[in-house]
Amino acid sequence: MQGVTSVFKICLSTLAQFVVSRKRLMLLLFVIFAFTVNISLPLAVSIYRKDASEKWNDGWHAWRNNNPAAALKHWSEIGVSGNFTVRPSRICYWRIRAMEKLGMYAEADDLKAELARKYPFDFYTFLFFRDGGAGISDKACRVKAESLFYPYLWKEEVSDAAGRTGIPEVMIWSLMKQESKFRKNAVSRSGALGLMQLMPSTAKAEMRYLNILSAEITDPEKNDLIGASYFSRLSRKFKGDLPRAIAAYNAGMMPVVRWNTLSAQDWIEWIEEIPYSETREFVRSVLQNREMYNIISGEKNEPSVSSLISERPMPVEKIASANR
């Protein structure tokens, strides 16, 4: 009996050792797998982005050289790589433009519906659908959900700034959301401050114009007013050209003046040609914010962003300097 008991104990001990060894092996394999993924995933993403960038640039070069067929070919080859770009919707949008230029209207309409389904309320979707594709994608109920991400914060301060500068409240919220995400103490890497992300030198210049003798730049009331005043000046400088005024708010007035028309046939081409990637995305994001705020508020009198497709940028040298 003791012999049987000893054998049983030995079996249990052996089994326990096997289980422990197996757990250790599984743990080791998991660590190796996690390490491999951690190393290979960023590399894979980088490869996908590089592939998408090269094909996008080839397509854009063909488009600007009036070869929509070649452009469509390059953009259609991007495939899954496009999902790793900043805005996958951009590729879809320009494929549609190329199709329309080639007379492929049925295919373009199908791709528009896909754009609306996959990227509702995106900047590029708004260029075709005033409702951001909510109707065609049967996602009208999402407008209420999206409104959670487009709050009307600092309403009293925004209303005051709009009243004094003439800049619509929606425009101020659109800038504020992109600049600071409504954080009054936000500070950028470049030193921009507050809700409207004002550089101290810019703020001081606007304060003189507004007869503000002294103020804490990050104070929400003053920051909103100074930012709206600065945007108002940019808007007058560029004769109400919204993409230029938004770009100048981010990159400064002089770079936008130097860019001139960027040889663009319409404002969407102009945005794509902006040399600074941060400014390019800033313009798209602010315009997207503006469309969303208009939808949420039920505003229908403001021109839709889709009008930018039919407008050609005017040479900057023909824009008269704004009188203060």
**Secondary structure string (H, E, C) spanning the chain:** CHHHHHHHHHHHHHHHHHHHHHHHHHHHHHHHHHHHHHHHHHHHHHHHHHHHHHHHHHHHHHHHCCCHHHHHHHHHCCHHHHHHCCCHHHHHHHHHHHHHHCCCHHHHHHHHHHHHHHCCCCHHHHCCCCCCCCCCCCCCCHHHHHHHHCCCCCHHHHHHHHHHHCCCHHHHHHHHHHHHCCCCCCECCCCCECCCCECHHHHHHHHHHCCCCCCCCCCHHHHHHHHHHHHHHHHHHCCCCHHHHHHHHHHCHHHHHHHCCCCCCCHHHHHHCCCCHHHHHHHHHHHHHHHHHHHHHCCCCCCCHHHHHCCCCCCHHHCCCCCC
Known active-site residue 221: no
Which of 169, 179, 206, 269 is catalytic? The answer is 179
Residue 309, both tokens: 């497709």
Angle at CA of residue 170, ends 174 and 296, nearest 5°:
95
Euclidean distance between CA atoms 131 and 192, whole angstroms: 33
Structure tokens at 181: 């995400």
* Residues with a known catalytic role: 179
